Chains A and B, each alone.
Chain A
Amino acid sequence: MSMAAMLSARRLIAYYGQAQILSDVSLDVASGEVALLLGRNGAGKSTTLKTLIGLVPMAGGEVVFRGERIDGLRPYQIAQRGLGYVPEDRRIFTDLTVSENLEVGRQPARKGLPAWTVKQLYKLFPNLAEMSARPASQMSGGEQQMLTIARTLMGNPACVLLDEPSEGLAPVIVDAMVAAIKEMKSQGLAVLLSEQNLHFAEDVADRAYIIEKGSIRFCGGVSELRDNDSVRSACLAL
């Protein structure tokens, strides 16, 4: 599987100040594949994603994206190479309207990749279409979550890093997330999905990584994980 990997990270190490958060993270995501990053609170899921997009400096390891080393690049350079990032806390521009938020995410179309238009994204998230002129400060949490995904897709990414998109959302919104992830997958995008909610993630994911204390402890198919009670109770149960 690593031969076809679009995004491939090896032995990532990262710190916040003096505290080591990531000690050994290696993972691969292939085109048209949804890879799941599971772990408890504080295991290093968000930090892994932030390290990949360049928001947290890497202290060691390497990242290859579409055949090119991207570790050490600035976040905007990584994003311009087609890696999209959807932050956990959404980070919507609340002073801007919904359509303006989408415009900020706009990047030129890339060869061989789906080119998203505002129209397509409104079709994928019909709620957004109805409020395109509304200031983002007046949206619900679920609507903001849709907007943050749509904004990242405006950059026409080849691979999307999704940080806990189901967190704190109503079931009906979670269904919309599932539909969106399936659409990305069908368009041939690679998706790295960080989650605590296994039930949501099982629906869409192909493979799973389990991270604990900053290192990857398990790597395998989702069905394999479902059957492996010992790993699940050791690394995921509260």
Chain B
Amino acid sequence: MSSIVIQFLNGLAGASALFLVAAGLSLIFGVTRIVNFAHGSLYMLGIYIAYSAIGWASGSDGPGPMGFWGGVLVSAIAVGATGALTEMLLLRRIYGAPELFQLLATFGVVLVLKDFALWVWGPEDLLGPRAPGLQGSVAILGQAFPTYDLVLIAIGASVLCALWLLLRRTRWGMLVRAATQDREMVGALGVNQKWLFTAVFALGSALAGLGGALQIPREPAQLLLDLSVIADAFVVVVVGGMGSVPGAALAALIIAEIKSFCVGIGQLDVLGFTVSLPKLTLVVEFIVMAIVLVARPWGLLGRAPGPQRVFAGGHEQPLQPAVRSALLAILALLAAVPFIANGYTVVLLIDILVFALFAASLHFLMGPAGMASFGHAAYFGLGAYGAALLVKAAGFPMETALLSAPFVAAAGAALFGWFCVRLSGVYLAMLTLAFAQIAWSVVFQWDTFTGGSNGIVGVWPSPWLASGSAYYYVALTLCGCGIWLLRRIVLSPYGFALRAGRDSPLRCDAIGIDLVRMQWVAFIVAGTCAGLAGAIYAFSKGSISPETLSIPLSVDGLVMVLLGGVQTASGPVVGAALFTWLQDTVARNTDYWRALLGGIIIALVLLFPQGIVGFIRQRFGRSGSL
């Protein structure tokens, strides 16, 4: 009995932390419709700033002159100011751009903030001070419970109450709630949204900063927090219903309690199998999210959004003769590369080819099929692991494994896609993220089969393909065929139906097109091609790790597609080439390649809100077929 109470309290403390960061994200999304990837970075900044502000870094034994709580407050305010500044300098300029570009811009901010933290605080984990007077524990039903966690619970509850009062009892809160539903109408009633948006950003960011700063006695400040926290926060926001603060509180509570009890119960024997529940905590929130989204597509307390258009799709057309000849010339040039360039260039080009196919498959989903995926790396990784395991565990010849691995990814895409295509817009994107995280966590934890965090080594091509240039031709052929196939499908009757479904789902329904099945097939096609890219990647590197299906790789894919321009078929290829080359070049020349890349992304978004190829097309007339 007493241990149940303790687990429950543990859950409450976890919920309090989750709620603080998720409430801010939900508020920001509700009003500005911006999916703020940088929210986790603001949380990370909150921990770091609190660390310095409290004064631990000065070398003294205890908090500096500001004291613990002063430092926490300073951190929240500083992070709030950072958020407001980001909104005013960057996001304010791109509210009119497609939603996915706003996402790309916030991802640029993630990269910049990460390197800012690296530059200021260094790569080591930093352990902060305990709160004065709260280091001990109190006895609850005979069991010790950390005093600080009790305070954390109280703070979470107070912030919830304060937010509730702010939203319900003030004119500002009324405007926020009204704008969450229909911001255009709020503007037509004479309210200047500019400052409303900035204020919401400042408040949401300050909450993230506060959430981070309050964790300083519980976990070290480190650079990986940004993406792990943003994944958690997204899940809470989506489960609760985007834009709903009470929803965020409810979802945080459910997820944190389930996690806490998983840890508390430990091993469980089910039908003779031993299930380790603590290991489940890595995915439990994503499982909860998958269940909630399938049952209630707009979250527990969310509302059905109006018709969402993630972006305006392109009008893919057959190639014109001039472009066709240009493409053949480029292909010929690529085929000649091993004779004219050095080995390093060949290796880099294999990477570029792999990611071009990966990005093209993601573009197929996002462009013609109109579904944004935040977890596309799952299929890349399934292909890579499929290839490696077919060789290592099943003893297939390398060639067979390379060609069979895409079907492993296809199976995964068929399973995950069946659920995803039942949603739309941001919710669909979040579910793809959830499934990718589940896949990652299975691979990461299943040491005996997948090698766990070490991955699988010694995945080499057959001897006749062992030379760099031989494998280059394999990659060129397979990636070329994959991209050609994707384009062929877009221009087929099936592709027409898919694009029609993207542009007017209701009309498609009315003329007898089964849109859900169409989208499911699109999901499988895209997954298969991503899997092929993953398989080629595995044999080109000789080893693979869980990173091949992690969130950062999914985000890389998004960046490639959006960088090139989602409205054009060649966009993802150009974007992948540019991104891979930039990452390679910049990373070799500076420790702060992320900040540079982030800066470039932000500059590109501000300069070319239609993507690079989209810009060229707009600027230099419709060559029509780019």
Pick the 3 closest A-B CB pairs, nearest first.
Answer: A79-B190, A91-B185, A93-B178
**In the complex where A76-B187, A152-B189 touch, is A104 in contact with B181 (Cβ < 8 A)?**
no
Which residue, B177, B180, B182, B191, has most C-beta atoms of chain A within 10 A?
Answer: B191
Q: Is the CB of A96 within 8 A of B178?
A: yes
Q: Is the CB of B190 within 8 A of A155?
A: yes
Q: Is the CB of A75 within 8 A of B181?
A: no
**In the complex where A55-B184, A91-B185 touch, is A76 in contact with B177 (Cβ < 8 A)?**
no
Quick one: which of B174, B184, B192 contacts A104, CB cutoff 8 A?
A: B174
Q: Does B510 sit at the interface, judged by CB under 8 A? A: no
Q: Does A85 sit at the interface, judged by CB under 8 A? A: yes
Q: Is the CB of A94 within 8 A of B189?
A: no
Q: Does A95 sit at the interface, judged by CB under 8 A? A: yes
Q: Is the CB of A104 within 8 A of B188?
A: no
| Closest beta carbon of chain B to A71's beta carbon, Å | 16
Quick one: which of B177, B187, B191 contacts A96, CB cutoff 8 A?
A: B177
Q: Is the CB of B182 within 8 A of A104?
A: no
Give the residues in chain B near A104, CB-CB below 8 Å: 174-175, 178, 186, 189, 191
Give the residues in chain A near B192, CB-CB below 8 Å: 76-77, 80
Q: Does B193 sit at the interface, judged by CB under 8 A? A: yes
The interface bits of chain A over 165-196 (1 if a CB of B lies within 8 angstroms of the residue's CB, else 0) are: 00000000000000000000000000000000
Question: Could you tell me how many residues of chain B have their Cβ less than 8 Å away from some Cβ of chain A?
Answer: 19
Which residue in chain B gives the minimum CB-CB distance to A157? Answer: B190
Q: Is the CB of A95 within 8 A of B190?
A: no
The interface bits of chain B over 156-188 (1 if a CB of A lies within 8 angstroms of the residue's CB, else 0) are: 000000000000000100110110111011111
The interface bits of chain B over 180-216 (1 if a CB of A lies within 8 angstroms of the residue's CB, else 0) are: 1110111111111100000000000000000000000
| Closest beta carbon of chain B to A56's beta carbon, Å | 11
The interface bits of chain A over 86-102 (1 if a CB of B lies within 8 angstroms of the residue's CB, else 0) are: 01000101111000110
**In the complex where A55-B184, A91-B185 touch, is A76 in contact with B190 (Cβ < 8 A)?**
yes
Give the residues in chain B near A105, CB-CB below 8 Å: 189-190
Q: Is the CB of B188 within 8 A of A55?
A: yes
Which residue in chain A gives the minimum CB-CB distance to B186? Answer: A104
Q: Is the CB of B193 within 8 A of A76?
A: yes
A105 to B178, CA, bound (A): 10
A54 to B191, CA, bound (A): 14
Q: Does A25 sit at the interface, judged by CB under 8 A? A: no
Total number of residue pairs linking A and B with CB closer than 8 Å: 63
Give the residues in chain B near A152, CB-CB below 8 Å: 189
Q: Does A103 sit at the interface, judged by CB under 8 A? A: yes
Give the residues in chain A near B174, CB-CB below 8 Å: 96, 100, 103-104
A155 to B174, CA, bound (A): 16
Q: Is the CB of A79 within 8 A of B181?
A: no
| Closest beta carbon of chain A to B504's beta carbon, Å | 13
A54 to B181, CA, bound (A): 20
Residues of A80-136 whose CB lies within 8 A of B: 80, 85, 87, 91, 93-96, 100-101, 103-107
A79 to B189, CA, bound (A): 6
Give me 12 A-to-B residue pairs in the complex whose CB atoms sit less than 8 angstroms apart, sorted by A's number.
Answer: A55-B188, A75-B187, A76-B187, A79-B188, A85-B188, A93-B177, A95-B181, A95-B303, A104-B175, A104-B178, A104-B189, A106-B171
A76 to B187, CA, bound (A): 5
| Closest beta carbon of chain A to B192's beta carbon, Å | 5
Which residue in chain B gives the minimum CB-CB distance to A99? Answer: B174
**In the complex where A76-B193, A103-B171 touch, is A95 in contact with B177 (Cβ < 8 A)?**
yes
Query: A residues near B, CB below 8 A?
Result: 53-55, 74-77, 79-80, 85, 87, 91, 93-96, 100-101, 103-107, 151-152, 155
A96 to B186, CA, bound (A): 13
A75 to B182, CA, bound (A): 14
Quick one: which of B188, B191, B303 contacts A53, CB cutoff 8 A?
A: B188
Q: Is the CB of A94 within 8 A of B188?
A: no
- Beyond A80-B190, A100-B174: 12 further Cβ-contacts under 8 Å? A75-B184, A75-B187, A77-B192, A79-B189, A85-B188, A85-B189, A91-B185, A93-B182, A96-B178, A104-B191, A107-B190, A155-B189
A85 to B190, CA, bound (A): 10
**In the complex where A93-B181, A95-B180 touch, is A76 in contact with B188 (Cβ < 8 A)?**
yes
Give the residues in chain A near B189, CB-CB below 8 Å: 76, 79, 85, 104-105, 107, 151-152, 155
A73 to B476, CA, bound (A): 53
A103 to B180, CA, bound (A): 16
Which residue, B186, B187, B188, has most C-beta atoms of chain A within 10 A?
Answer: B188
A116 to B204, CA, bound (A): 35
Which residue in chain B gives the minimum CB-CB distance to A86? Answer: B188
Give the residues in chain A near B184, CB-CB below 8 Å: 55, 75
| Closest beta carbon of chain B to A105's beta carbon, Å | 5
A87 to B181, CA, bound (A): 15
Quick one: which of B171, B181, B187 contacts A74, CB cutoff 8 A?
A: B187
Give the residues in chain A near B171, CB-CB below 8 Å: 103, 106
Q: Is the CB of A94 within 8 A of B190?
A: no
| Closest beta carbon of chain A to B234's beta carbon, Å | 22
A94 to B306, CA, bound (A): 13
| Closest beta carbon of chain B to A106's beta carbon, Å | 8
| Closest beta carbon of chain B to A7's beta carbon, Å | 16
Which residue in chain A gives the minimum CB-CB distance to B182? Answer: A91
Give the residues in chain B near A87, CB-CB below 8 Å: 185, 188
Q: Is the CB of A75 within 8 A of B177?
A: no
Which residue in chain A gives the minimum CB-CB distance to B192? Answer: A76
A76 to B192, CA, bound (A): 6
| Closest beta carbon of chain A to B245's beta carbon, Å | 12
Give the residues in chain B near A103, CB-CB below 8 Å: 171, 174
Give the residues in chain A near B187, CB-CB below 8 Å: 74-76, 79
| Closest beta carbon of chain A to B167's beta carbon, Å | 10
A158 to B522, CA, bound (A): 54
Give the residues in chain B near A95, CB-CB below 8 Å: 177-178, 180-181, 303
Which residue in chain A gives the minimum CB-CB distance to B191? Answer: A76
Which residue in chain B gives the minimum CB-CB distance to A151? Answer: B189
